[in-house]
Amino acid sequence: ANVALWGGRFAGGPSPELAALSRSTQFDWALAAYDVRGSKAHAKVLHAAGLLDDDELERMHAALDRLAADVASGAFVAAPEDEDVHTALERGLLERAGEELGGKLRAGRSRNDQIATLVRLYLRDNARLLARQLVDLVDELIAQAEAAGEAVMPGRTHLQHAQPVLLAHHLLAHAWPLLRDVDRLIDWDVRAARSPYGSGALAGSSLGLDPAAVAAELGFDGPVENSIDGTAARDVVAEFAFVAAMIGVDLSRLSEEIILWNTKEFGFVRLDDAWSTGSSIMPQKKNPDIAELARGKAGRLVGDLTGLLTTLKGLPLAYNRDLQEDKEPVFDQVATLTVLLPAFAGMVRTLTFDTARMAELAPQGFSLATDVAEWLVREGVPFRVAHEVAGACVRVCEERGIELWDLSDADLAAISEHLTPEVRSVLTVEGSVASRDAVGGTAPARVAEQLQAAKERATEY
Ligand code: ARG
């Protein structure tokens, strides 16, 4: 039997080669539960429009509930002949409701408005789950920042020692982008919360069916404003894909640092045994695989976004079959992040920082040179001159292989008349970080406020 939803005008079924190409059940089955939910809502509007009587609605819903249970238990699965999830579920409905009643459900809807709606339902649910997982990770970063207290580390630009910062400040610098990713998911939902159901194939709802009723039934804020747009646009899917890619990039940035910090040369951090892996040949190895996988999977997440945008580019209105390619990229992103985020959170939770080593390195590499210059400015020296003088100090130290605080009173005086021995008051890491006490700065009091603010933000979700 021809089980396609479009057999009437065709003399025979599709060629096996076309069927193999066309089939999407191997991935769109992920939408099966949403499809049945959509069908139940659709049955209600058919009833409201007088196209199903009370008894038919009841039997239709009962059949759809049985179908949903069979999908959930695995008793009902897609058959090889089913083109897509919609086709398979219609077959399942006909088997359960009978051809007469089951055949009535498809009135006034198209797979075009269905699929556009289902992918939004799926993404909205998963966006909430991902936001939850992200907040869990942020909580771990915040806990580490809190535990770090006033521990210091070398702050870097260009990966070179720049100025000392608090470890907590640095860790929170990874927490804020992740909190913004949570914000992005929440903000994205405003646009995702419009239902294309009722757009039909493209031109809109017929048969007196009410798109607003289906939208409300499915938890949307309302129907889309334009049925052509509703069936053809995938910017909402692409925007989700961007946020997922951004999460990947944000995790990858932190990963790179953990990988570096975990080297013998840095020695800033130790990974817990349960959250790192060994080598099959080198007995001494303990590898940061979670961070490396996160860094690698960021490439995949970005690739999913790139592939999707490339699919969408150049598509004329309205529905085109190319749009079937919108699902695998975002399904892959969801699957990727869903396994990555909990592992990543566990790795962060169990990091042990060598704060003594970080503190020892914090003032090295002349990272207090800016403090010398700013001390001179407070003494009334123009910054242009102060910068030159501090730079001269660094040059002398570099020549002699010493640090700034090793310069004698005579050395200082020889470099500049402005350099009195009092300059040594700023040649400590504690003095340096304490001086950066404007909002957002690394002074312990400011970082404590920032930590509080991050905690409050994280608990808002
Ligand atoms: N499976 C398709 C998709 O994922 C939906 C079906 C629309 N097919 C069609 N011939 N109009 O986009």
Cis peptide before 318 (omega within 30 of 0): yes
* CATH code of the region 112-149+160-354: 1.20.200.10
Distance, in Å, from the CA atom of 432 to the CA atom of 443, rounded to the nearest integer, reads 8
By the 8 A CB rule, do 60 and 105 touch?
yes
Distance, in Å, from the CA atom of 330 to the CA atom of 313, rounded to the nearest integer, reads 17
Q: Which helix (H) or strand (E) holds 164?
A: strand 160-166
If you take atom 11 of ligand 1, which residue's CA is the nearest one? Answer: 112
Those residues whose C-beta lies under 8 Å from the C-beta of residue 194, and which sit 6 or more positions away, are 120, 215, 220, 221, 222, 223, 224, 225, 230
Tens digit of pLDDT for each residue in 295-349?
Answer: 999 999 999 999 999 999 999 999 999 999 999 999 999 999 999 999 999 999 9
Q: How far is CA 402 from CA 170, 358, 366, 392, 410, in A?
A: 28, 19, 10, 13, 15
Tokens 């009334």 belong to residue: 380
Counting from 1 in the atom list of ligand 1, the atom nearest the Cα of 114 is 5
- 245 Cβ below 6 A of ligand 1: no
Tokens 């909430």 belong to residue: 128
Q: Catalytic annotation on 42?
A: no
- 112 Cβ below 6 A of ligand 1: yes
Residue 248: name the closest of 199, 306, 190 by CA: 306
- 113 Cβ below 6 A of ligand 1: no
Tokens 């940035």 belong to residue: 253
For the entire predicted model, the pTM comes to 0.95
The pLDDT assigned to 461 comes to 82
The pLDDT assigned to 71 comes to 98
The pLDDT assigned to 3 comes to 63
Residues for the chain: how many in total? 461
CATH superfamily of the 361-460 domain = Fumarase/aspartase (C-terminal domain) (1.10.40.30)
Q: How far is the CA of 252 from the centre of ligand 1 (A)?
A: 35
CA angle 448, 453, 458 (to 5 degrees): 125
Tens digit of pLDDT for each residue in 171-180?
Answer: 999 999 999 9
Low-confidence ranges of the chain (pLDDT < 70): 1-3
Name which CATH class applies to 16-107: mainly alpha
Distance, in Å, from the CA atom of 378 to the CA atom of 181, rounded to the nearest integer, reads 40
The pLDDT assigned to 282 comes to 86
Those residues whose C-beta lies under 8 Å from the C-beta of residue 275, and which sit 6 or more positions away, are 290, 343, 346, 347, 350
Among 161, 199, 255, 279, the active-site one is 279
- 111 Cβ below 6 A of ligand 1: yes
Counting from 1 in the atom list of ligand 1, the atom nearest the Cα of 323 is 12
The pLDDT assigned to 1 comes to 42
Distance, in Å, from the CA atom of 225 to the CA atom of 409, rounded to the nearest integer, reads 76
**Phi first, then psi: what are they for 277, rounded to 5°?**
-130, 165
If you take atom 12 of ligand 1, which residue's CA is the nearest one? Answer: 324
Q: How far is the CA of 48 from the centre of ligand 1 (A)?
A: 27
Counting from 1 in the atom list of ligand 1, the atom nearest the Cα of 85 is 1
Q: Catalytic annotation on 418?
A: no
- ipTM of the assembly? 0.95
DSSP string, 202-269: TT---TT--HHHHHHHTT-SEE-S-HHHHHH--HHHHHHHHHHHHHHHHHHHHHHHHHHHTSTTT--E
Among 73, 158, 280, 408, the active-site one is 158
How is the chain split into domains, by residue range? 16-107, 112-149+160-354, 361-460
By the 8 A CB rule, do 233 and 323 touch?
no
End-to-end CA distance of the chain: 52
